[in-house]
Amino acid sequence: MIKVSVLYANEDGKKFDMDYYCNSHIPMVLEKVGAACSKSEVDQGLAGGAPGAPAAFIAMGHLYFDSVDSFQAAFGPHAEAIMADIPNYTDIQPDIQISEVKS
């Protein structure tokens, strides 16, 4: 299984609309990628590791797929529409990481 993580850095002066992300963007993504996505999660950053430190990321979205190939096949045809929705909830350039889930 692989996890596709979309990470939004917690940057001063940037906006992130968590309500839109959770209630509009993620449902739209899930509708487009369909059954290829077995699970999704959204994390909201609260704090860093040290007392009083800010969270490194304001938000993280995670999508789970059987393989990189299944992700690419499901996401590819809809990438343009999915990416075009980003300005509706943030002005942060997301970082994307694909990981193999080990446990």
Mean pLDDT of 6-17: 97
Domains of the chain: residue spans and CATH: 2-100 (3.30.70.100)
Question: Residues 14-73: pLDDT tens digits?
Answer: 999 999 999 999 999 999 999 999 999 999 999 999 999 999 999 999 999 999 999 999
At 84 the pLDDT is: 98
At 10 the pLDDT is: 98
At 78 the pLDDT is: 98
Give the predicted TM-score (pTM) of the model.
Answer: 0.94
* DSSP H helices in 10-102: 18-20, 26-33, 68-75, 79-84
Instruction: Report the alpha-carbon distance of residue 98 to residue 68 in Å, rounded.
Output: 8
At 9 the pLDDT is: 98
